[in-house]
Amino acid sequence: MVQETGSGVAIERLAAVIGECRKCPLWENTHHAVPGEGDAGADLMLIGEAPGKQEDLTGRPFVGRAGKLLDGLLSGIGLVRGDIFIANIVKHRPPGNRDPRDEEIRACTPYLEEQIRIVEPKVIVMLGRHSSRYILSFLPVEFDRITEIRGTVYPAVLFGHPVRLIPTLHPAAALYNPAYREALEEDFRVIGRELAGAGGSAIRD
């Protein structure tokens, strides 16, 4: 999809740069970079961890099983993919889906920061501990377990813009764990309320 707004053009130019990125060795074992996608003027940005197998094959974020679960959570608050922007902490798949390394995160996160500057979301949701740790380090907020802080709303100013930061569980963690799934549903209700408060398009309750 070609986006003709200024921010849409900027996001697509950045995606082209990410597609050629060789700043760390992750690209060597991949089929595609997964820069992220969605509405470049979205109120809501979701940040995952790293592409998995399906994402690497397609170049699109969250298209595997965790992505299907995510679609259900979004639809529960009246949103579809096209309403939001989805990105990851690292843009190439780590081999065997291992955790991204500190040096890979350091090399890749300037792209994420640029995406946040372009989209200027009102609400950023961090899916899982890697993205939560990275984004909350700007406040700074530290934590041991994501379950301690999930669903908390942290008001912040990121790159000169006010934003509400909400950490939650990674949807992959909820695939086989009904308690985590309930926790995610609860956190998405918080997200819906925050978006409604920010004048966003989610269902109000």
Is 48 a binding residue for ligand URA by CB under 6 A? The answer is: yes
| 15 lines the binding site for ligand URA (CB under 6 A) | no
Tell which one of 38, 52, 100, 192 touches ligand URA (CB under 6 A).
Answer: 52
Candidate residues 42, 45, 66, 123; the one interacting with ligand URA per rule CB under 6 A = 66
Non-local (6+) Cβ contacts of 23 within 8 A are: 107, 108
Q: Tell the smallest beta-carbon distance from residue 97 to ligand URA (Å).
A: 8
Q: CA–CA separation, 187 vs 152, rounded Å?
A: 8
- 167 touches ligand URA (CB under 6 A): no
How far lies 159's CA from each of 112, 121, 163, 166, in Å? 12, 11, 10, 17
Strands across the sheet with 123-127, in order?
37-38, 85-88, 44-48, 123-127, 161-168, 154-158
Q: Is 36:15 a contact under the CB 8 Å cutoff? A: yes
- How many degrees, rounded to 5, is the angle at CA 52 between CA 96 and CA 69? 135
Q: Rounded to the nearest 5°, which phi and psi values hold at 61? A: -80, 145
62 binds ligand URA (CB under 6 A): yes
Q: In a 10 Å sphere around its CB, with 0-12 CB exposed, 13-18 middle and 19+ buried, how is residue 78 labelled?
A: middle
Q: How far apart are CA 134 and CA 105, in angstroms?
A: 9
Nearest approach, Cβ of 160 to ligand URA (angstroms)?
A: 27
CB-side neighbour CA atoms (13 Å) of 39: 14
Per CB under 6 A, 168 contacts ligand URA: no
- Residues contacting ligand URA: total by CB under 6 A: 12
Is 51 a binding residue for ligand URA by CB under 6 A? The answer is yes
State the minimum distance, in angstroms, from the CB of residue 14 to ligand URA: 17
**Closest residue to ligand URA using C-beta atoms:** 48
Decide if residue 43 touches ligand URA (CB under 6 A): no
- Among 43, 49, 120, 194, interactor with ligand URA by CB under 6 A: 49
For ligand URA, the binding residue among 33, 46, 50, 163 (CB under 6 A) is: 50
35 sits near ligand URA (criterion: CB under 6 A) = no
Question: CB-wise, 66 or 202, nearer to ligand URA?
Answer: 66
Angstrom distance (rounded) from CA 6 to CA 11: 9
For ligand URA, the binding residues (CB under 6 A) are: 34, 48-52, 55, 61-62, 66, 88, 172
